[in-house]
Amino acid sequence: MDKKGITKQEISEKLKEFKEEDMTYRSGRILGSMCTCPHEVGLEAYKMFLESNLGDSGLFKGTRKMEKEVIQMLGNLLGKEDVCGHIITGGTEANIMAMRAARNSSNIKDPEIIVPKSAHFSFKKAADMLCLKLREAELDENYRVDVNSVKELISDKTVAVVGIAGTTELGVIDPIEELSKLCLEENIYLHVDAAFGGFTIPFLGLSGRNLPKFDFSLEGVSSITIDPHKMGLAPIPTGGIIFRDRSYLESISTETPYLTDKEQFTIVGTRTGASTAATWALLKYFGKDGYCKIAKGCMEVTEYLAEGIKKSGFNLMVEPKLNLVAFDSNEIEIDTIVDELKEEGWAVSVSSYPRAIRIVVMPHVKMEHVKEFTDDLSKIHAK
Ligand code: PLP
């Protein structure tokens, strides 16, 4: 650190230099991310509440009120209005909170959690931090969790089962209804990770698409992760954790002696209220109709992309149900395809199981980008 500061003008110039090295969502070239351009309505709200700290919410009563309204609106979207929860940093914090609630709500020694083999790596972090044994259930031929494999893994040490509504790598929806029945029978906490699908599945359903149930309308579902900073178009970092019952939240309470609040439930202490403000503004601005339009638009681009990929001579891993397409090739190595796409300026990502190129069709990915992309794919295939 230098002794003397520099001028605002110099800072601005330096910042621009850094920024020039960053990719932008707006370019349409980021094809492997679940984040997107934050919407201007959310950004405005975010800026207004930059100094608000929900970790000391007695000082920010307006923001606290907004958070309650946001949780209620998300509950309404997810099949149950009288839910509780928080707006937090993202899917990772939400999943850790859910696993902590599941563990603390039981009195089980040497606790275990059962997650699909396709689960996000945040569950590995959760297991490590919370001293939980992670048991991975097998997938069926469509890469959904195999409920029989879950059944086989259940023991008197199981504190939670996890199902995924929109897997990170393939966008697949697990059979949550069957998991819900199983968990009710076995009296086990069921967490649904809808970090990605939570802002899409309900709206595609409202638009007439037939997608499986995944939410609190299923009695066995105890908690849901839903990330506004993914398909909700909120700025980073904005996650959501929703619990069916207040007792789950209470099980993860920590006393906070010197603050205006007596207790805290989240992993982070100081917690931005800006994310809550952005989510509140976006939910109000778009309403269900607006989000339906966004989800439908993404699916149209997804279906066009999937057709283009097939026509270019590549194989889809699964027919997309959500806005994610994964593919491989009989002739060309995945790494070679990734390198060649990179040379053309495309940033794609690679899934681990099955190994495939993975394109997330977020709202910043438009038809014109997909047309250019599939043209490049055809050229790669023809080489
Ligand atoms: N859960 C799922 C299904 C995800 O796809 C992701 C991230 O892509 C996460 C959790 C973790 O979310 P975050 O990166 O916001 O912590």
ipTM: 0.99
d(CA 88, CA 68): 13
- Is ligand 1 within 6 A of the CB of residue 351? no
Cα 237 to ligand 1 centre (Å) = 11
- Is ligand 1 within 6 A of the CB of residue 224? no
Rounded average pLDDT over 77-94: 98
pLDDT digits (tens, 9 = 90+) for 349-359: 999 999 999 99
Rounded average pLDDT over 25-47: 98
Rounded average pLDDT over 352-372: 97
Rounded average pLDDT over 135-139: 98
Quick one: pLDDT at residue 278? 99
Alpha carbons within 13 angstroms on the beta-carbon side of residue 107 total 0
Cα 92 to ligand 1 centre (Å) = 6
* The token pair that represents 127 in the structure block: 């297991």
Backbone angles phi, psi at 311, to 5 degrees: -65, -30
Quick one: pLDDT at residue 383? 84
- Is ligand 1 within 6 A of the CB of residue 349? no
Mutate to test the pocket of ligand 1, among 35, 88, 168, 191 (most ligand atoms within 8 A of CB): 168
Rounded average pLDDT over 200-220: 97
User: Using alpha carbons only, how large is the chain's radius of gyration in Å?
Assistant: 22
Mutate to test the pocket of ligand 1, among 30, 227, 323 (most ligand atoms within 8 A of CB): 227
Quick one: pLDDT at residue 93? 98
Mutate to test the pocket of ligand 1, among 196, 231, 324 (most ligand atoms within 8 A of CB): 196
- Is ligand 1 within 6 A of the CB of residue 239? yes
- Is ligand 1 within 6 A of the CB of residue 111? no
Quick one: pLDDT at residue 188? 98
Cα 296 to ligand 1 centre (Å) = 22
How would residue 25 be classed by pLDDT, with cut points 50, 70 and 90?
A: very high
pLDDT > 90: what percent of the chain?
A: 99
The Cβ of residue 358 has, within 10 Å, a number of other Cβ atoms equal to: 21
Q: What is the pairing mode between strands 315-316 and 239-243?
A: unpaired
pTM over 0.90? The answer is yes
Quick one: pLDDT at residue 204? 98
**Which atom number of ligand 1 is nearest to the Cα of residue 164?**
3
Backbone angles phi, psi at 144, to 5 degrees: -95, 155
Mean pLDDT of the chain: 97
- Is ligand 1 within 6 A of the CB of residue 163? no
- Is ligand 1 within 6 A of the CB of residue 168? yes
Q: From atom 13 of ligand 1, which residue's Cα is the shortest distance away?
A: 91
d(CA 76, CA 152): 34
Sign of CA dihedral 140, 159, 157, 131: positive
Cα 364 to ligand 1 centre (Å) = 18
Q: From atom 10 of ligand 1, which residue's Cα is the shortest distance away?
A: 91
Q: What is the pairing mode between strands 324-328 and 315-316?
A: antiparallel
Rounded average pLDDT over 240-263: 96
Is the per-residue pLDDT at 3 higher than 90? Answer: yes
31 and 301 in contact (C-beta within 8 Å)?
Answer: no
- Is ligand 1 within 6 A of the CB of residue 34? yes
- Is ligand 1 within 6 A of the CB of residue 116? no
Cα 360 to ligand 1 centre (Å) = 13
pLDDT digits (tens, 9 = 90+) for 154-203: 999 999 999 999 999 999 999 999 999 999 999 999 999 999 999 999 99
Quick one: pLDDT at residue 104? 98
